Amino acid sequence: MIFERVRSEGLAHISYFLGSDKEATVIDPRRDCQVYLELARRNEMKIQHIFETHRNEDYVIGSRELAHFTGAIIYHGPGLNFKYGETMKDGQGFSFGKMKLTAIHTPGHTDESMSYTLVDPKLGDQPIIVFTGDTLFVGDVGRIDLYGQVEAPRLAANLYDSIFNKILPLGDGVILCPAHGTGSVCGGSISEREQSTLGLERLHNPALQKTKEDFIKFKVAERFERPPYFRTMEQYNLEGPPPLESLPDPPPLSPREFQKRMKPGAVVVDTRTPSAFGGAHIAESYHIWLRGLPMFAGWLLPYDKPILLVLENREHLEMAVRYLVRLGYDNVEGYLCGGVEACGLEAWYEKAIPTEHLGLLTVQELKTRLDRSDDLIVLDVRSENEWNEGHIGGALHIYVGHLEERLNELPVDRPIAVICKVGNRASLGASILRRASRREVYTVLGGMMAWQKADYSVT
């Protein structure tokens, strides 16, 4: 049997390619699906089934894309009116090569959530692996807030029942294969460790140590961010996302062409490092560092405008495009061309087109200015949880995802130092403030990690 985990970093998404004899199955494929085709090709297999664990909300599901290339049949859980694929029933069985897969209805994260057990008939009916989607993670369980506060208690109860009545009884020795690893927006406490079993989770997963009542209370009280792009993902994944065929290949743009396309309203996204962005950047650009795209593009970028990229170098293009199409942004019109392997911004400034800069503060410099009782405002853009664990006294708090809509809460005409954990989100926040014409804006390099390392006090 072939068993391959396919990780999509950034989203911390995990999909699975399973094969036996000449037949293969994919669970929760991603949209840039060449990876599965290549696995099938290399193993001389034919992908026949595609299983979704649920209507995902954090990325575009690649089922239709993969079905387009393979003719495989797509299967969904019951109770949601998908516009493509087929609906399964609880307990329905499938086979590929010598292996069997059984669908188990495990509502909770969403109503139609499914898990799948893998059975090797040689060993009888006992499953070897269970694929749990967003129901059970390593060290955490799925979020239940997606239907709103009213539905949350019902979903939490369903989730508890799915886990305790359907999944854990499969046996301690069963290997756990969830849809997300650490860093996903779909679970706040997913473990860094990827390997687990039902036995290990039963003993160590904090959420599974509670009574049903406590479990429900705990889950209902949890607070997660819900980026606005989730709505688009849900719609895409329900109706079937637009076909992609191949990864877009945006052209290099000369500064002149770049400027021409900026005019009618394209959005500029600068994916370089905070110090490079702080040093010089194009006016009005968002700063989203390369590996921040999967997490923050969906908070800020509109789906109806073209996107223009400013990259550290050409090698980053494919990664940036890949991150964006996974969120459904298929409209990258080009990237600022800086000549082969050079940063695009050089091309820009050698044409005497003005750039802007941001202040960059070390934590020592920040401390000095705060001690001088400067009128500097510290704006902390970390999540609520991070803020609650300790922050600089007197700082304001707005999560970076909400900053654009809450700009009016910030005093006008005072300098603002934006801080996060290490500096990336701060730089994004600073770019949002600069887009809103705030004059004196600083990014704190090193953020709260450096602040605490320097032994400055936190509240």
Give the footprint of a copy of itself on residues 146-205 (CB under 8 A): 171-175, 192-204
Q: Site for a copy of itself (CB under 8 A): which residue of 223, 357, 406, 414?
A: 357
Within residues 22-41, the interface with a copy of itself by CB under 8 A covers: 22, 41
The residue (of 235 and 362) whose beta carbon lies closer to a copy of itself is 362
Residue-wise burial string across 339-360, b where 16 or more C-beta atoms lie within 10 A, e elsewhere = eeeebbbebbeeeeeeeeebeb
Give the shortest CB-235-to-a copy of itself separation in angstroms.
Answer: 30
Within residues 93-112, the interface with a copy of itself by CB under 8 A covers: none
- Binding characters for a copy of itself, 258-277, by CB under 8 A (x = yes): --------------xxxxxx
For residue 349, CA distances in Å to 204, 258, 276, 395 come to: 55, 13, 14, 36
Longest CA span, the chain: 74
The residue (of 144 and 208) whose beta carbon lies closer to a copy of itself is 208
Q: Is 364 in the site for a copy of itself (CB under 8 A)?
A: yes
What DSSP string runs through 230-274? HHHHHHHHHH-PPP-SS---PPEE-HHHHHHHHTTTPEEEE-S-H
* Residues 6 or more apart whose Cβ sits within 8 Å of residue 128: 118, 119, 120, 174, 175
Rounded CA-CA distance 289/147 in Å is 31
Give the shortest CB-194-to-a copy of itself separation in angstroms.
Answer: 7
At 143, is the secondary structure helix, strand, or coil? coil
The residue (of 155 and 417) whose beta carbon lies closer to a copy of itself is 417
- The DSSP H or E segment spanning 217 is helix 212-221
Residue 373 DSSP symbol: T
Q: Is the dihedral of CA 400, 234, 61, 163 positive or negative?
A: positive
Q: Is 371 in the site for a copy of itself (CB under 8 A)?
A: no
Within residues 305-324, the interface with a copy of itself by CB under 8 A covers: 312-315
**Segments of 140-194 assigned E as strands:** 140-141, 175-178
- For a copy of itself, which stretch binds (CB under 8 A), given 82-90, 141-149, 358-366, 406-414? 358-366
Residue-wise burial string across 268-306, b where 16 or more C-beta atoms lie within 10 A, e elsewhere = bbbbbbbebbbebbbeebbbbbbebbbbbbbbbbeeeeb
Within residues 129-148, the interface with a copy of itself by CB under 8 A covers: 129
- Token pair 């500096």 is found at 423
Total residues contacting a copy of itself by CB under 8 A comes to: 81
The residue (of 107 and 344) whose beta carbon lies closer to a copy of itself is 344
Q: Is 342 in the site for a copy of itself (CB under 8 A)?
A: yes
Give the shortest CB-234-to-a copy of itself separation in angstroms.
Answer: 31
Mode of pairing for the β-strands spanning 175-178 and 127-133: parallel
- Token pair 């509109």 is found at 302
Q: Site for a copy of itself (CB under 8 A): which residue of 131, 229, 296, 451?
A: 451
- Binding characters for a copy of itself, 38-57, by CB under 8 A (x = yes): ---xxxx-x-----------
The residue (of 204 and 231) whose beta carbon lies closer to a copy of itself is 204
Rounded CA-CA distance 230/224 in Å is 13
Give the shortest CB-275-to-a copy of itself separation in angstroms.
Answer: 3
The residue (of 304 and 315) whose beta carbon lies closer to a copy of itself is 315
Q: Site for a copy of itself (CB under 8 A): which residue of 34, 95, 189, 254?
A: 254
Give the shortest CB-167-to-a copy of itself separation in angstroms.
Answer: 13
- Binding characters for a copy of itself, 273-302, by CB under 8 A (x = yes): xxxxxxxxx---------x-----------
